[in-house]
Amino acid sequence: MCTDEPGADPLLEDDEPAPAELLQTGGKSIFVLTADHAGRAIPRRLRDLGLGPAELETHIAWDIGIAGVARRLSAALDAPLILQRYSRLVIDCNRDPAVESSLARVSEHTRIPGNESVSTRQASLRRRSIFDPYHSAIAQMLESRAASGQPTIMIALHSMTPVFKGLSRPMHTAVLYDRDSRFARHVLTALRREHGLVVAENEPYFVSPATDYTIPHHAEGNLPYAEIEIRQDLIAGELGQSQWSERFARVLRAAQQEFAGWAIR
Ligand SMILES: [Zn+2]
């Protein structure tokens, strides 16, 4: 709820959930997991942004399958997880609110009617109601671990559509990073040991302050990190979500061991 501006209508009604869902908050793992695009809820007041139910099930609204992978991975690793429940079309929690793609007017080929004429005040309300509480939850988690001397490696989890603007994506998974590749390179090494996988490095995306927010804001220059993408057709169902969470539990543990060895040398 957002009631700090006198006379402002809150974006979220009392019975609508908070943006951040936290799991395993006391987890002992070195990893903290985030999933910026885990959910596809839309605040009732935004009337589905003018989109139909079929459009709101597609990848333009959320990262299909990643919540199921993230929950299982969090449990397997005993790692804190911060999931974001609202659709990326309401406000993209992995974009600086100052960049235009924070409130997408068109996503892939779909026009988003509810984003075509958003006033500065409405944009600010979306930020204060969804973006800020989610990123505060991440910041608080990181601060409390730092205060108790618990080291952290941050893992940002995403999923990608198998076909984008008519082009099929051959990679099953991808590891992305910007300036600090210290941990990402160990994730890449461990993933490339897995059988039969096409693993991409900084493709089809890379991490940058213009295209991301979570890693640049919370991790870059502060914590080791990796951003992970998994292709959505592989994790749309529960079987795939189980298999990929098991795979990433194995891969992240191996990467952690190799990273610790590297850090000591
Ligand atoms: Zn995403």
Strands 225-231 and 173-176: antiparallel
Q: What's the mean pLDDT in 168-172?
A: 96
> Ligand 1 centre from 144 Cα, in Å?
25
Q: Which of 8-12, 125-129, 211-215, 230-234 is predicted with the least confidence, judged by mean pLDDT?
A: 8-12
CA-CA distance, 113 to 48, in Å (whole number)?
9
Q: What's the mean pLDDT in 6-17?
A: 81
Q: What's the mean pLDDT in 189-215?
A: 96
Judged against a pLDDT cut of 60, whether residue 110 lies above it is answered with yes
> Ligand 1 centre from 63 Cα, in Å?
5
Domains detected in the chain = 20-264 (3.40.630.40)
Q: Tell me: the pLDDT tens digits for 119-148?
A: 999 999 999 999 999 999 999 999 999 999
CA-CA distance, 192 to 232, in Å (whole number)?
19
> Ligand 1 centre from 180 Cα, in Å?
20
> Ligand 1 centre from 36 Cα, in Å?
6
Contacts 24+ apart (CB under 8 A), 50-57: 50/112, 50/113, 50/114, 51/89, 51/110, 51/112, 51/113, 51/114, 55/110, 56/87
Omega within 30 of 0 (cis) for the link into 204: yes
> Ligand 1 centre from 89 Cα, in Å?
11
DSSP code for 10? P
> Ligand 1 centre from 75 Cα, in Å?
21
Which pTM value belongs to this model? 0.94
Query: What would you report as the CA-atom Rg of the chain, rounded to the nearest whole angstrom?
Result: 18
Average pLDDT, the chain: 94
> Ligand 1 centre from 11 Cα, in Å?
23
